[in-house]
Amino acid sequence: MKLASMKTTTALALVLAALPATGAIGQEIRMLVGDTGTGGTLFEEMAATFEEEHPGVDVVIEEVSYQTIVESLPVQLQAGEGPDIAIITDLGGLSPFYEDITDYVDADYFEQEWGQTLQWLRGGDTESSAIYGMPTTLTVNGAYVNLTLFEQAGVEVPEEGATWQEWAEATRQVAEATGTDFPMEMDRSGHRFASLAISYGAELVDEEGNPVVDDGLRAAIEQFVEWHENGTMPMDLWGAVGGSTHRELFSDFLNANVVLYFGGSWTLAQMDTEVGDLFDWAVVPAPCGPSSCTVMPGGGAMVGFSHTDHPELVGELINFFAQPENLDFYISQEVEIPSAASQIENGVDYPSASENTQDALAVFSAQIPKMADAAYRFQGWRYQRAMMNSLTTRISQVLNNELSVDAALERIEQDVNLAIEAAQTNS
């Protein structure tokens, strides 16, 4: 009996001794970052300061492949698991999982810096004013042009305001004169095609969040098919690949096999390291369609997730990363296009980037104010990926004579409606 009571006393003492220690373990915030660019390095550096200011808080930065963020993270979130914070690119698609951090951040500052892009995180809910995170960087679709080939061909580089057709004509002349394989190429991506489509007047999604298949989209598809038929664009990307598979052949531009390549700002670093001064190149202002001179915006955002046990801390950490000194540090080191209004207005110094890259960044940044409303709306739409997947799949079928343009338009509308219907079957 005496022995038993001694054991109980000892156990109680151990439990009581452990209690304060448990409190001192503090809170852990897990943040998932893709391995593109500098990965998690810069965030680790900044998070160290946050940890100093918040004793007992441990910020764990996990660097994973970009594919993990695109494919595995949504499944983890569906299961109510995953990190507290992540940097994601499917801004509207993951909106059901975000934590509203309005109460924990300087909301006025967030609205002032990211007013329009915050809407992308609201999944098309136009009435919401919730703040779910901080847009980290912007990416901008755009055209890379081989200036050396233009010079060799003696063809004038089209000025700002030139139409897609004028670019097609000019690049055809250059390709013919210089024996280059192809005049133009575009990533096989619904996002890239949306740039062309919106400049041709396509709405893609209306203000109520309904898919729109209109004459603008028809005109863009017809133009795109014509370029493939007359050899302006090779079949290798959009013609040869099926389904929703993303494919790019930027190596064609790096190897001077194409005069104009329509990709995006994320390949700038590659241009510096792989092309250097082998040939002259430039990023040109958005080619114009009959409707506007616009390209699609894109980018990443740092968001908190609703399953977190520490919503306040998540909000505070995002607010910390959003401070001007941290933003400037991140954008300049990462060599990315800023998304914050003050940075876009005042510009950012990129000490490590070449002159060519700095010029290209300036051109990309200059496209941001010119982007059509439809482009912003499409970027924040919850069903954007359903539309983009359908665009790539169906346009490839048109290029291979499996569908007519009319049938493809019908299928695109049907595909997106079926996706919305499947997602909304809750009763």
Partner 1 sequence: MSAKSQVAHAAGQVAMFPARAVEPLMSGLQRVLGIKRMPWVFLIPNLTAVVLFALLPVFINVFYSVSGSDRLFPWDRPFIGGANYQTLFDCTNYLDPATCSRDLFWRALGNTMVFVPVQVTVMITIALLTAVCLNREIRGRGFFRGIFFFPVMLSPVVVALTWQWILQRNGALNGLLSATGLPTLNWLVFPNTAFFWSVFVTVWAHMGFYTIILLAGLQSIPRDVYEAARMDSATPWRSFTRITLPLLKPVLLVVFILAVIRSVQTFDELYVLTGGGPGSATMLMVQYIYEVGFAAQPRNFGLAAAASLLLGLALLVFTAIQMRISRGGNND
> Where does this chain bind partner 1 (CB under 8 A)?
71, 74-75, 78-79, 90, 93, 181, 234-236, 239-245, 247, 257, 383, 385-386, 389, 393, 396-397, 399-403, 407, 411, 414, 418-420, 422-427
Q: How far is the CB of 76 from partner 1 (least distance, A)?
A: 10
Rounding to the nearest 10 degrees, give the CA dihedral for residues 95, 101, 105, 111.
40
* Angstrom distance (rounded) from CA 3 to CA 6: 5
Can you say how many angstroms the Cα of residue 111 is from the centroid of all Cα atoms in its chain?
A: 20
In 3D space, the residue among 94, 102, 103, 104 whose CA is nearest the CA of residue 124 turns out to be 94
Q: How far is the CB of 247 from partner 1 (least distance, A)?
A: 7
* Angstrom distance (rounded) from CA 221 to CA 200: 10
* Angstrom distance (rounded) from CA 298 to CA 265: 10
Q: How far is the CB of 115 from partner 1 (least distance, A)?
A: 26
Q: Which is nearer to partner 1, 8 or 400 (CB)?
A: 400
* 2 and 24 Cβ atoms separated by less than 8 Å: no
250-253: long-range contacts, CB 8 A cutoff, minimum separation 24: 250/187, 252/181, 252/182, 252/185, 253/144, 253/146, 253/185, 253/281
Q: How far is the CB of 44 from partner 1 (least distance, A)?
A: 30
| Side chain identity, residue 35 | D
Residues linked to residue 57 through DSSP beta bridges, in sequence order: 27
Residues 6+ apart with CB under 8 A from 87: 31, 32, 33, 34, 69, 136, 300, 301, 302, 303
Q: Which is nearer to partner 1, 11 or 240 (CB)?
A: 240
* Angstrom distance (rounded) from CA 119 to CA 21: 43
Q: How far is the CB of 110 from partner 1 (least distance, A)?
A: 26
Q: Which is nearer to partner 1, 90 or 274 (CB)?
A: 90
Q: How far is the CB of 342 from partner 1 (least distance, A)?
A: 33
Q: How far is the CB of 75 from partner 1 (least distance, A)?
A: 7
* Angstrom distance (rounded) from CA 114 to CA 110: 6
* Angstrom distance (rounded) from CA 36 to CA 64: 9
Q: How far is the CB of 379 from partner 1 (least distance, A)?
A: 14
